[in-house]
Amino acid sequence: MPWRSVIRKLGPVGVLGVVWVTVPIVLGILMVAKLGMLAEILHANSPASWPVWTLLIAVTIGIGLLPVYANTFLCGWVFGWAAGCASGIISYLGAAAIGYYLSRRLSYGRVNAVIEDYEGARRVRHALVHSNPRRTLVIVSLWRLAAAPFPLSNLVMASCGVPIGLYLRGTLFGLGPRVVVGTLIAATAASSGARDLQTLVRDSQHPVLVLLGIAASLLILGMVGHVASSTLRKVTDEH
């Protein structure tokens, strides 16, 4: 699929797609870099910070400004595993709903026209909306588990016409395991009393082991995403 041609056909929607890929990456890195400052602000305004942050993240991720991974780590670091996990899942479901309706209103016609032009895209849409509901749920869940860019996933699934109920359940089943593991890792790291990741590594008696632990955690999540991506391709190709 020639991406330049696709972006040109999508027009303003194509530009929006590029923004939805690049901006969350930049802001996600900044969020992790400013973890200590954000944690202090949220702790200072507890307990009101939990619902306010959950709502704020639902909106900002829903309109495509922030990534899921950075907030997952922050939630576990600030709120602990249970509350952080709940905040992440609630905000991501809210973000998914916002992204779904936003994508339907802004881009349904243009994206649908592009899908019609490419056999691979038509095959994916057919697998998503013309299969039985259980198969659709599996595909959406794998898509989320594979950690594809959140706003682009919203755009594609909404434009393909995935029913909102299956879309939200698939989001829950796909993102749920990543949120559970991510917040657990962050909460465990925060229990050391460190202000942020930099402090955690610097003040540790075994900084190399800490870095290796972080790298191993990221590798495991990456492997899960890779397996989910491979399985997703097989499921859609079989249809």
Tokens of 124: 């994916």
Q: Which one, of 126, 134, 130, 121, lies nearest residue 170 by Cα?
A: 134
Query: Are residues 65 and 21 in contact, defined by beta-carbon separation less than 8 angstroms?
Result: no
Q: SS3 letters for the chain?
A: CCHHHHHHHHCHHHHHHHHHHHHHHHHHHHHHHCHHHHHHHHHHCCCCHHHHHHHHHHHHHHCCCCCHHHHHHHHHHHHCHHHHHHHHHHHHHHHHHHHHHHHHHHHHHHHHHHHHHCHHHHHHHHHHHCCCHHHHHHHHHHHHHCCCCHHHHHHHHHHHCCCHHHHHHHHHHHHHHHHHHHHHHHHHHHCCCCCCHHHHHHHCCCHHHHHHHHHHHHHHHHHHHHHHHHHHHHHHHHC
pLDDT at 96: 95
Flag whether the pTM goes above 0.85.
Answer: no
Distance CA 173, CA 140 (A): 9
User: pLDDT 10s digit of each residue in the chain, 239 long?
Assistant: 455 555 555 555 666 777 888 889 899 889 888 888 998 899 888 888 999 999 999 999 999 898 888 899 899 999 999 999 999 999 999 999 999 998 887 765 656 655 555 555 556 666 666 667 888 888 888 888 887 788 888 888 887 788 899 999 999 999 998 899 889 888 988 887 877 766 766 666 556 655 566 566 556 556 655 555 665 566 555 55
pLDDT at 164: 92
Give residue limits of the domains in the chain: 3-238
Query: Are residues 223 and 114 in contact, defined by beta-carbon separation less than 8 angstroms?
Result: no
Contacts of 59 (CB under 8 A, 6+ apart): 94, 95, 98
Return the number of other C-beta atoms located less than 10 Å from residue 79's C-beta.
Answer: 26
